[in-house]
């Protein structure tokens, strides 16, 4: 069955993908300690939260 607006709502995730993924409250504690984006060079392509989630996985 192809994705439609009806089926998309049915399978929407409202929780973390894995048990080790950070909650919003945990990320709020860690985020201020993450390095700020560098003004020189390329912009980031990967979210830091996803990197931390991968390390915890």
Sequence ranges of the domains in the chain: 13-33+46-56
Q: What pLDDT is recorded for position 12?
A: 64
Each residue of 34-55: pLDDT tens digit? Answer: 999 888 989 989 899 999 999 9
pTM for the full predicted model:
0.66
DSSP state of 44: P
Residue 8 has pLDDT above 80, yes or no: no
Q: What pLDDT is recorded for position 5?
A: 73
Q: How far apart are CA 30 and CA 5, in angstroms?
A: 35
Q: Residue 49 is inside which H or E element, if any? A: helix 48-56
Q: What pLDDT is recorded for position 32?
A: 95
Q: How far apart are CA 56 and CA 44, in angstroms?
A: 20
């Amino acid at each position: 069955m192809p994705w439609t607006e009806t089926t998309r709502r049915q399978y929407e995730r409202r929780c973390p993908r894995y048990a080790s993924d950070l909650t919003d409250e945990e990320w709020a504690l860690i985020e201020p300690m993450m390095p700020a984006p560098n003004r020189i060079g390329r912009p980031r392509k990967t979210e830091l939260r996803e990197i931390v989630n991968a390390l915890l996985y």
